[in-house]
Chains A and B, each alone.
Chain A
Amino acid sequence: MIKVLIDEDACVGCALCVDECPTDVFEFDEEKSLPFVKRENECFGCFSCSEVCPAEAITHEGAELSRNFYHDNYALDLAAKLTPGTSQTSDVTDKVEQQKALDDLGIRLLSIAAVFRHTLGGSMPAVGTMAGRTLANQLPRYQVPESFTEVLEMASKQFNPSWDLNFTIEADQLTITTKTCFIRELCIKEGIELGGDLCVLFYNNLAGYLGKMSGMRLKLESMEPGSDQCQYRVKTFAPIKR
């Protein structure tokens, strides 16, 4: 059962939680002018009360925020360092939960890859590239990169912590090394052969992203999967001038 806790010192008595809760867990105590938990067993952990609460006074025990794979380590780390001495941030800084979420995502990707291979004609590179280009378009635009090196730097930040990407460029030869990769870890755990459809999908996704951001054209020359790190050797071409 989920336990809903209201920090009465922090609560400002706005009663937004009473209105917001879809299952009417809260009621308002007019005398104390504070809300209280009336029907706790009705709570199903949607967290809409803690979202709307202006004082962030509501916490849940026994309910987890949905698989939080979108959390980025920078923000979690910052939150923990902003509030030393409290336990409040421990539930959002849960790395185990994050790993579960990545595994979840990995299994979904594997089945999507299988669908493309067996039912939709197996056009993995095209699918990956298109997805990468769309990704580049949809990401929030901040520091607009000016050179290819800047694009690479940005990408290695952007893909962390799911992937630890290292880029080295020698003339027109680009080497992409992936040290941690959640797909590889999942493949090893599930006994799936490395260098398969998902790796092709991943590479093309990255190439599509890098290509869209920099205008460069990338051509995959060789792919060397390994149990500690994978390497992709890529030839780069200058952007086409129109």
Chain B
Amino acid sequence: MKAKVSTEWLSGCSGCHIAVVDLHEKLLNLVDSIEFVRIPVLMDVRDYPKADIGLVEGAIRSDHDREAVLKMRESVDKLVAFGTCASYGGVSGLGWLYKDDAILSKVYGGLPTTTETERPQGAPVLEHSVIPIDEVVEVDVHLPGCPPHPYYIAQAIKVLLGEEGAVMPAGTVCSQCNRKMVKREGVAFKKGAVTAPEKDICFLSQGVICLGSVTLERCRAQCTNKGVTCAGCTGPSIAVVTEPHLDIRSMVAKRMSLLTDIDENEILDYMAKEAKTFYSYALSSPVVYKKPTVEIREWVGEK
């Protein structure tokens, strides 16, 4: 019998749903074992049919999202937080930095192109912040990724169907990256949107910030292997999640200063100044904002 899969799309960009379609021919293999009963980008199903597996994309931003995720929880056996927004709040988690009123008055009046100052009536009411779904409902598996990598989508479904040997490993992006970490002297610290000239040497060794070593590997290191620094889109690594004293900023600075002769404080200051970039994916998750070393409101001048 085929396992029934139901999906829901909350405050997200639909990218995670497109990633399911991106399974291409692997989708056909999967379709042998699963059947979609609800998938907003492909089917026009409005109610919540009973299913074995539920995939929820996006974070909770409004009362509509909250209601939708509760209905999903009721209708499925196993719930997957599908994508970084569902697990950690994602990029829209930057909304955590501001009060609702500040956001709304900016959007409906504070912009050069805005003529409308009236706020719409009857729209869903905003929650106090961007909320990862596991604060509201019980989640069975977290599959972060922006969007989740097709390999791990298949793995997650296999894990949930109880297939033997299916695992979701705990390593960081470095564990799949082919670049070589080497110690260097006289490396200049490169700031801004830059990449590194050498193709097979670690970015950190070349003085470019890469979040690979503090990011959970759910991506097969596809960015770093193709010459783009890791932006941390799959959220913090297991060590950063479980150990309160390990932080994205401090660990990158520590490793980079050990590999090169760049001053650790220079890296720390730069990462604090650009905190919205380096903390953009998991900011509204308690595992990040509760850390004693994370003072993002101070860093971005919102306090």
Name A residues whose Cβ lies closer than 8 Å to a Cβ of B: 7, 9-10, 12-16, 19-20, 33, 50-52, 54-57, 70-72, 74-76, 78-79, 81-86, 88-89, 92, 140-143
Contacts and interface: CB of A to CB of B under 8 A. Distances in A.
A92 B241 CA distance: 11
Interface stretch (B48-56, B171-179, B270-278): B171-179
Given A9-B175, A12-B177, A57-B175, A92 B255 contact: no
Given A10-B175, A15-B183, A85 B289 contact: no
B213 interface: yes
Contacts of B154: none
A54 B255 contact: yes
Interface stretch (B11-19, B24-32, B138-146, B189-197): B138-146
B129 A56 contact: no
Interface size class of B (residues with CB under 8 A): 35 or more
A88 B16 CA distance: 27
Contacts of A142: 96, 286, 289-290
Given A14-B182, A16-B259, A78-B134, A55 B171 contact: yes
A57 to B, nearest CB: 6
Interface in B70-129: 87, 96, 128-129
Contacts of A143: 96, 128-129
Given A12-B181, A88-B170, A140-B291, A79 B241 contact: yes
A14 B171 contact: no
A88 B140 CA distance: 18
A82 B216 contact: yes
A144 to B, nearest CB: 9
A85 B166 contact: yes
Nearest to B213: A54
Interface secondary structure of A, over-half rule: loop
5 contacts: A51-B239, A55-B175, A56-B172, A85-B167, A141-B303
Contacts of A92: 238, 242
B180 A12 contact: yes
A107 B166 CA distance: 44
Contacts of B242: 71, 75-76, 79, 89, 92
A85 B175 contact: no
A13 B144 contact: no
Contacts of A51: 239, 246
Given A70-B244, A89-B170, 19 more contacts: A7-B175, A12-B174, A33-B180, A54-B172, A54-B213, A55-B172, A56-B175, A72-B244, A72-B290, A74-B286, A78-B142, A78-B287, A81-B140, A82-B144, A83-B167, A86-B167, A86-B168, A141-B303, A143-B129
Contact of A83 (B140, B170, B177): B170
